[in-house]
Amino acid sequence: MTESIRLTTPLKTSDLEKLHIGDRVFISGMLYSTRDAAHLRLFQLLAENKPLPFDIQGHIIYYMGPSPARPGKPIGAAGPTSSYRMDAYAPALIARGLKGMIGKGARNQAVKDAMKRYRAVYFAAIGGAGALISKCILSSEVIAYPELGTEAVRRLKVESFPVLVANDVHGRDLYEEGIKAYAC
């Protein structure tokens, strides 16, 4: 944890060039939450050269499927889900302009290569901290695939969403380096 940085979406490549693994970042603006089932559909649209239901250019996808909101609340618990399950789909989205992903856990080499090549960043949020993270989500709106329930695509408005840079555009990996530093 070297610095605290504030970023607002959509992200600019120049913002991302400055980020390094371990940086603490607070993200504000709009995020899109999707997970397994919706990712499969997005991937199929890309394969058929069809438009996606939202513009990913410069945007961040948050791997998350919330619990239902209590009345009067924008969302229920809303922590990250395991990112490796989206590894099969992520490079295609990154190649099309996706600039950031928020999730938990390590990514495979293909995703890391795509992030380096197309200048995108992977941010780690605290897995399981669903109640805490829900506090920085101001609004939530289902914008695609409502029939998927918790797996529908949501547009979230967030304020100071706390994350760590896990993979930067320079090809470094906080999971690998962090674990190596503490293994004994």
Binding mask 8-27 for another protein (x = CB under 8 A): --------------x-----
For residue 154, state whether it binds another protein (rule: CB under 8 A): no
Applying CB under 8 A, among 150, 155, 157, 172 the residue interacting with another protein is 150
Give dist(CA 154, CA 134) in Å, integer. 14
- CB within 8 Å of 165: residues ≥ 6 apart: 19, 20, 21, 22, 23, 25, 121, 122, 123, 124, 174
- CB within 8 Å of 108: residues ≥ 6 apart: 84, 87
For residue 143, state whether it binds another protein (rule: CB under 8 A): no
Residue 158 and residue 136 in contact, taking contact as beta carbons nearer than 8 Å? yes
User: Catalytic residue at 39?
Assistant: yes
For residue 72, state whether it binds another protein (rule: CB under 8 A): no
Compare residues 29 and 130 and give the one whose CB is closer to another protein. 130
Q: Which helix (H) or strand (E) holds 134?
A: helix 130-134
For residue 68, state whether it binds another protein (rule: CB under 8 A): yes
Applying CB under 8 A, among 31, 101, 106, 120 the residue interacting with another protein is 106
Compare residues 55 and 141 and give the one whose CB is closer to another protein. 141
Question: Which active-site residues does the annotation give?
Answer: 39
